[in-house]
Structure 1
Amino acid sequence: MTLAESLRACPIVAILRGLRPDEAVAVGEAIVAAGIRILEVPLNSPEPLRSIGRLARHFGQNALVGAGTVLDPAQVAGIAERGGRLIVTPHADPVIVRAAKEQGMFAVPGFFTPGEAFSLLAAGADGLKLFPAEAASPAVLKALMAVLPKGTPVLPVGGIGADNMAAWRAAGAAGFGVGSSLFRPGDTPAEVGARARALRDALEPV
């Protein structure tokens, strides 16, 4: 699945910070069964490349699997070798974007200002992660969407849950990165699946 196809299927990126390799497939299955098709394993998780590899092998083209909290362009090749196809950063680094594109991967880097956004798009970013969203607002996103190139996917990340997604969608968000509202270390697959379904249900009226 491409980034655009995955967001059309469900505009939620599951941020699985703290995921362990031994639970990766079971947790991933619970999330994908709820309709979410983008799985992000932050690199500050335990053995993240092993988890990415297991998820990529298990889901193949049925889900878009990748890494978050990518801080160094040197990390990109190792993620690609494990089957990861998505690179997400917390910060605005065009060098990492270019490294991802050289590997044929999708890049969704973090930004907070218009200057950062345009710099990342010029480097080839496929989408933009508005981070930390708690420090912004739907009104800020609406203003940004007025000046960004039409069709630019912007995904707010940070403090996103079932109670506030509708306001962000109305302001132009193409999707969301959802972390602790979906998965926390120690959660069972059943608990994660229930939260994933609740998040998906919250999108239906929009």
Structure 2
Amino acid sequence: MNFDTAFAACPLVAILRGLTPAEAPAIGDALVAAGFTLLEVPLNSPQPLDSIAILADRLAGRAMVGAGTVLNTGQVRDVIAAGGTLIVSPNTDPAVIGAAAAAGVASLPGYYTASEAFSALAAGATALKLFPADAAPPAMLKAQRAVLPGQVRVLAVGGITPGGMAAWRGAGADGFGLGSHLYKPGKPAEAVAADAAAFISTCKDLA
């Protein structure tokens, strides 16, 4: 599954910060059953490459799996070696973006300013991650949309709740990255499934 297909199916990225390899199968199954097709395991989680390998194998053909908090090109290589095909970063680093693009995997770098957005696109970003969204008003994205190429997909990430999605969608967000309101370490798969369903339902209502 490539990014275009996965994003078209569901423009929500599940950010599984703190996920352990033992939790990965149940959490991955719950998210995919709810409709998620994009999952990231941040590299500051316990044994993240093991979790990525488990999820990538288990969810092959059903979801795109990769890593978050990717900060250097060595980590890009490690994630790809583990089977990950999605490289998500909190910052705009042309070297990281370029390494992902050269390897043929999706790159979603974090940006905050228009300058960072255009630098990321020039380096080969697949889509842009406005981060941290909870430190910015939706009006900022609306203003950026006036100058960004129309086809560029922007995801709002940081503090997103189902109730806050409409304002961001109205400002031009194409999708969302969902963190602690969807998953926290130790959260039972059943509870993750319930929250995932709420996000999916809201997303469909906004489509």
Corresponding residue number in structure 2 for 1:103: 103
Q: How far is 1:113 from its partner? A: 0.5
Q: How many residues align?
A: 206
The CA distance in 1 between the partners of 2:67 and 2:12, in whole Å, is 15
Asked if structure 2 preserves the Cα contact closer than 8 Å seen for 1:139 and 1:171, the reply is yes
The CA distance in 1 between the partners of 2:205 and 2:91, in whole Å, is 32
Map 1:164-203; keep pairs closer than 5 Å: 164-203=164-203
Q: Which runs of 5+ in 2 are unaligned?
A: none
Corresponding residue number in structure 2 for 1:82: 82
Corresponding residue number in structure 1 for 2:34: 34
Q: How far is 1:4 from its partner? A: 2.0
Q: Which runs of 5+ in 1 are unaligned?
A: none
Which amino acid in the other structure matches residue 112 of structure 1?
A: Y
Corresponding residue number in structure 1 for 2:152: 152
Corresponding residue number in structure 2 for 1:45: 45
Map 1:49-128; keep pairs closer than 5 Å: 49-128=49-128
Q: How far is 1:9 from its partner? A: 1.0
Q: How far is 1:104 from its partner? A: 1.2
The CA distance in 1 between the partners of 2:205 and 2:107, in whole Å, is 29
Corresponding residue number in structure 2 for 1:5: 5
Q: Deviations over 1:101-141 (max 9, x none)?
A: 12111000000001111011000000011000011121111
- TM-score if structure 1 supplies the norm length? 0.98
Which amino acid in the other structure matches residue 185 of structure 2?
A: P
The CA distance in 1 between the partners of 2:168 and 2:36, in whole Å, is 18
Q: How far is 1:166 from its partner? A: 1.1
Asked if structure 2 preserves the Cα contact closer than 8 Å seen for 1:7 and 1:174, the reply is no
The CA distance in 1 between the partners of 2:6 and 2:161, in whole Å, is 19
Which amino acid in the other structure matches residue 179 of structure 2?
A: G
Asked if structure 2 preserves the Cα contact closer than 8 Å seen for 1:134 and 1:158, the reply is yes
Q: Deviations over 1:77-107 (max 9, x none)?
A: 1100111000000011011000111211100
The CA distance in 2 between the partners of 1:19 and 1:104, in whole Å, is 26
Q: Deviations over 1:164-203 (max 9, x none)?
A: 1111111111110000010000111101000000111112
SS at match of 1:107: strand
Q: How far is 1:72 from its partner? A: 1.2
SS at match of 2:181: coil
> Runs of 4+ in structure 1 displaced over 2 angstroms?
none
The CA distance in 1 between the partners of 2:119 and 2:82, in whole Å, is 28
SS at match of 1:62: coil
State the identity %: 54
